[in-house]
Amino acid sequence: MSNFYLNRRALLGLALTSALPASAVWAAGQPLPVVASFSILQDLTRQVGGDLVTVSALVGADGDAHVFEPTPQQARQLQQAKVLVANGLDFEGWLPRLKKAAGFQGQEIIASQGIAVRALPKGQGHDHGHDHGADKAGHDHAHDHGHGHHHGPNDPHAWQDVKNAIVYVRNIAKGLATADPANAARYSQQATQYIARLTALDASLRQRFAAVPAARRTVVSTHDAFGYFAQAYGLRFVPVRGLSTESEPSARDMGALVKQVREERIGAIFLENISDPRLLEQLSRETGAAIGGRLYSDALSPAGGPAATYIDMVETNAATLLKALQAG
Amino acid sequence: MMAELLWHPFVDYGFMRRALAGCLALSAGAAPLGTILLLRRMSLVGDAMSHAILPGAALGYLLFGLSLPAMTIGGLAAGMVVAMLSGVVTRYTALREDASFAGFYLISLALGVLLVSLRGSNVDLLHVLFGSVLALDDPTLYLTATIASLSMLGLALMYRPLLMECLDPGFLRLQGRMGSISHALFMLLLVLNLVGGFHSLGTLMAVALVVLPAASARFWLRGVGLQMALSTGIAMAGSVLGLLLSYHAGIAASAAITLSLGGLYLLSLCLGRLGSVRAQRHRPGNDSVSEPMGVSE
């Protein structure tokens, strides 16, 4: 009877992981089983790990990590994983609970560790009733005080600055080396090669955006996920519906935005792969601003798409932005 | 000053005018149906039907994206299948209408969620569950207006048989097929309106425009025709109120509209002339709540 609580957890674990043998043992020589919280981290980890790792993503391509319901299979994947790569900065609010439920015992890498964290701008149309998926994340989170401000004060979308992605890659390489010390040298070597590509990408972005006249660098986007990108490459992003993709905008937010687009003569509005396109179409109808194309923020496109890897994603976003800004 | 607060959102912004036009059309179509629904004690069936639409709309969405015709036709088909099956089960088995509806709508709802989760990402479900009253484009507005017109026209044609069926189902059954035809047509109109409402208010809240105004109206007037007219008025007032609330207080539009309708309902519940809390207190022993209303037509 005293074991009742334990039994219940064991049962829950069983239900979640269905009837497979508990934790499949990872033998040296086999690829290291790694789970990444979302598709972008999955790609970064693949680049560093190469064929030494198999990486699955909890939130796959085109999915939205803000709102996510884990499936039992994913809990099982996590349970069998040796390494978990997460963004941190409160991006994956649902992760603590999933880790607990799945009985994850491996090593967790917080990819964003050590970056210069950007604070969220205050009161930009999303200062009310806004909960960023924290409710779905459950109670493990320090979010139990029910004020309107569920969100951490920090912007989690750090990967949009390529310089930060370099930090991510270093953290991932370090973490993989700790989990799999036998291959530490190869992780480090592959990371160095990848970082060289990222450095070149960063330099090229800076150069290309610097060529756009400063007055033309304002853009409206569905999702306030480009704070780091904007900061790094000298653009201004006006969000259409705050940071969360779950909340429906109010008429006031829409009105404020229409006014802003009209007054600031914003030339381009961008759709992302994950938010409601109907709102942007309405905005474009109302203001005459062009819909600039599709930007990828929190998720890669499926394989074969224009943003199947992190580098492709950044390149595609930059090309789309530059085209719209130069046309406007 | 006051007047300006009421007008300027609609004068300044096209999306507010579109939202207003959409809501007014929806009100004209959906609210009178609510009166009949209430008379037949089927208000929860409205809720069930709004969920029954989901698999069809989801299928349309998965195959064609946020396409208006695909989601409309899908939703309509799914809704009608559930309505027909429930009708058949009610007629030929021991199960009552409410239970058979509950059974089929739950299956339908689960099927819808399953479809979305099979193919789409998690955001897709939100697109299907929540409409976007602030983003009504021309085709959606035309669809809404067409549905409202069809609905009013249909209701006018079927008014007599529907009323008879409400008040004395046995009589109409004796008269032959008329009863089941008018019942089927009524369900068709209901599903049409829910599908129309689903584009702007979403599956979760489309039914609010059907049920809440009708429930409010019966606290004020006795005749069925009068109740229909009043519930349309209440639905329109609630829509305008909700849009203004969403604009001035900055809250989500579909929730604001539903809550405004809810507020009007609570107000009627407390202060109405017939069978409300106030009326009951003035005349203890009055049982007009339980007596079917609208007998005088």
pLDDT category at B150 given cuts 50, 70, 90 is very high
Tell whether A99 is covered by a domain.
yes
What's the pLDDT score for residue A289?
A: 75
Q: Does A262 touch chain B (CB under 8 A)?
A: no
Please name the residue of chain B whose CA is at the shortest distance from the CA of residue A251: B247
Contact B15/A258, CB-based, under 8 Å? yes
Q: Do residues A10 and A54 both lie within one domain?
A: yes
Q: Do residues A123 and A180 both lie within one domain?
A: yes
**CB proximity list for A81: less than 8 A, separation 6 or greater:** A33, A34, A35, A104, A106
Instruction: Write down how long chain A is.
Output: 328
Of B122, B123, B243, the CB nearest to A251: B243
Of A129, A253, A279, the CB nearest to B135: A279
Residues of A in contact with B12 (CB under 8 A): 255
Segment B122-147 mean pLDDT? 78
User: Are residues B104 and B52 in contact, defined by beta-carbon separation less than 8 angstroms?
Assistant: yes
Q: Do residues A255 and A299 both lie within one domain?
A: yes
What's the pLDDT score for residue B171?
A: 65
Interface TM-score (ipTM) > 0.90: no
Segment B12-19 mean pLDDT? 89
Q: Do residues A180 and A52 both lie within one domain?
A: yes
Q: Taking a contact as any Cβ pair under 8 Å apart, which residues of chain A between 24 and 83 contact chain B?
A: 59-60, 62-64, 67-69
Of A64, A68, A281, the CB nearest to B135: A281
pLDDT category at B173 given cuts 50, 70, 90 is low
Contact A282/B134, CB-based, under 8 Å? yes
Q: Do residues A139 and A238 both lie within one domain?
A: no
Tell whether A121 is covered by a domain.
yes
The burial of A215, by beta-carbon neighbours within 10 Å (0-12 exposed, 13-18 middle, 19 or more buried), is given as exposed
SS percent in chain A: helix, strand, coil, step 5:
45, 15, 40
Q: Does B291 touch chain A (CB under 8 A)?
A: no
Q: Which of A194, A218, A241 is the last residue of a domain?
A: A194
Q: Taking a contact as any Cβ pair under 8 Å apart, which residues of chain B between 119 and 148 contact chain A?
A: 121-123, 126-127, 130, 132, 134-137
What's the pLDDT score for residue B1?
A: 64
Cα–Cα distance measured from residue A238 to residue A261, given in angstroms and rounded to the nearest whole number: 9
Q: Do residues A229 and A295 both lie within one domain?
A: yes
What's the pLDDT score for residue A23?
A: 43
* Domain interval for residue A43: 4-194
Edge-to-edge strands of the sheet including A290-295? A236-239, A218-221, A268-272, A290-295
Contact A282/B18, CB-based, under 8 Å? yes
Whether the CA torsion A288, A293, A296, A300 is positive or negative: it is positive
Chain B nearest CA to A120, separation (Å)? 20
Residues of A in contact with B9 (CB under 8 A): 251, 255
User: Are residues B123 and A64 in contact, defined by beta-carbon separation less than 8 angstroms?
Assistant: yes
Please name the residue of chain B whose CA is at the shortest distance from the CA of residue A273: B123
Domain count, chain A: 2
Q: Does A305 touch chain B (CB under 8 A)?
A: no
What is the token pair recorded at A161?
């600055």
Residue A302 belongs to a domain with what CATH number?
Answer: 3.40.50.1980
Tell whether A203 is covered by a domain.
no
Comparing CA positions, the residue from A282, A253, A255, A256 lying closest to residue A269 is A282
What's the pLDDT score for residue B121?
A: 57
Of A247, A275, A281, the CB nearest to B137: A281
Residues of B in contact with A278 (CB under 8 A): 66, 132, 135, 137
Comparing CA positions, the residue from A60, A18, A72, A10 lying closest to residue A35 is A60
What's the pLDDT score for residue A328?
A: 54
What's the pLDDT score for residue B148?
A: 94
What's the pLDDT score for residue A36?
A: 95
Helices (H), A19-93: 39-49, 72-80
Cβ count within 10 A of residue A290: 15
Residues of B in contact with A261 (CB under 8 A): none
What's the pLDDT score for residue B99?
A: 85
Angle at B65 between CA B61 and CA B67, to 5 degrees: 85
Residues of A in contact with B114 (CB under 8 A): none
Cα-trace Rg, chain B:
19
Angle at B120 between CA B63 and CA A291, to 5 degrees: 75
pLDDT digits (tens, 9 = 90+) for A179-235: 999 999 999 999 999 999 999 999 999 999 998 887 778 887 766 788 899 999 988
What's the pLDDT score for residue B137?
A: 85
pLDDT digits (tens, 9 = 90+) for B225-268: 999 999 999 999 999 999 999 989 888 888 899 999 999 999 99
**CB proximity list for A75: less than 8 A, separation 6 or greater:** A16, A17, A98, A101, A102
The rounded mean pLDDT for chain B is: 84
Q: Do residues A15 and A147 both lie within one domain?
A: yes
What's the pLDDT score for residue A247?
A: 56
Tell whether A280 is covered by a domain.
yes
Comparing CA positions, the residue from A251, A241, A127 lying closest to residue B244 is A251
CA B33, B39, B40, B44: dihedral to nearest 10 degrees? 70
What's the pLDDT score for residue A203?
A: 96
Helices (H), chain B: 2-12, 14-39, 43-52, 54-64, 68-92, 97-119, 122-129, 138-167, 169-174, 178-201, 208-217, 224-249, 253-271, 277-282
Q: Do residues A66 and A90 both lie within one domain?
A: yes
With residue A103 as reference, give the H or E element that holds it. Answer: none
Contact B132/A285, CB-based, under 8 Å? no
pLDDT digits (tens, 9 = 90+) for B175-231: 666 667 788 888 899 999 999 888 888 777 788 999 999 999 999 999 899 999 999
Which position has the token pair 């519930």? B231
pLDDT along chain A (328 residues), means of 10: 41 44 58 94 96 93 77 86 93 87 91 90 42 36 34 83 96 95 94 97 94 81 80 81 53 80 75 61 79 82 90 93 77
Please name the residue of chain A whose CA is at the shortest distance from the CA of residue B13: A255
Tell whether A178 is covered by a domain.
yes
What's the pLDDT score for residue A142?
A: 35
Q: Do residues A173 and A319 both lie within one domain?
A: no
More confident residue, B97 or A23: B97
Chain Cα centroid distance, residue A35 = 14
Of A246, A251, A299, the CB nearest to B247: A251
Of A62, A245, A254, the CB nearest to B15: A254
Select, from the ranges A263-267, B103-107, B215-219, B286-290, the one with the highest average predicted confidence (pLDDT).
B215-219
Q: Do residues A116 and A241 both lie within one domain?
A: no
Of A62, A251, A277, the CB nearest to B253: A251
Q: Does A328 touch chain B (CB under 8 A)?
A: no
DSSP state of A292: E
Tell whether A204 is covered by a domain.
no
Cα–Cα distance measured from residue A239 to residue A279, given in angstroms and rounded to the nearest whole number: 12
What's the pLDDT score for residue B231?
A: 96
What's the pLDDT score for residue A11?
A: 43
More confident residue, B92 or B2: B92
Contact B251/A129, CB-based, under 8 Å? yes
What's the pLDDT score for residue B233?
A: 96
Q: What is the pTM of this model?
A: 0.63
What is the token pair recorded at A113?
């560790």
Tell whether A263 is covered by a domain.
yes
Chain B nearest CA to A70, separation (Å)? 10
Q: Does A244 touch chain B (CB under 8 A)?
A: no
Cα–Cα distance measured from residue A274 to residue B241, given in angstroms and rounded to the nearest whole number: 31
Please name the residue of chain B whose CA is at the shortest distance from the CA of residue A62: B121
Q: Do residues A187 and A245 both lie within one domain?
A: no
Please name the residue of chain A whose CA is at the shortest distance from the CA of residue B14: A286
Edge-to-edge strands of the sheet including A32-38? A53-59, A32-38, A83-86, A107-110
Q: Which of A146, A163, A194 is the last residue of a domain?
A: A194
Chain A nearest CA to B247, separation (Å)? 4
pLDDT digits (tens, 9 = 90+) for B75-91: 999 999 998 888 888 88
User: Are residues B222 and B293 in contact, defined by beta-carbon separation less than 8 angstroms?
Assistant: yes
What is the token pair recorded at A276?
């409601």
Q: Does A312 touch chain B (CB under 8 A)?
A: no
Q: Do residues A141 and A223 both lie within one domain?
A: no
Cα–Cα distance measured from residue B184 to residue B181, given in angstroms and rounded to the nearest whole number: 5
Q: Does B243 touch chain A (CB under 8 A)?
A: yes
Cα–Cα distance measured from residue A82 to residue A186, given in angstroms and rounded to the nearest whole number: 18
Tell whether A202 is covered by a domain.
no
What is the token pair recorded at B11?
């004068």
User: Are residues B292 and B39 in contact, defined by beta-carbon separation less than 8 angstroms?
Assistant: yes
Cα–Cα distance measured from residue B10 to residue B72, given in angstroms and rounded to the nearest whole number: 28
Cα–Cα distance measured from residue B250 to residue B55, given in angstroms and rounded to the nearest whole number: 32
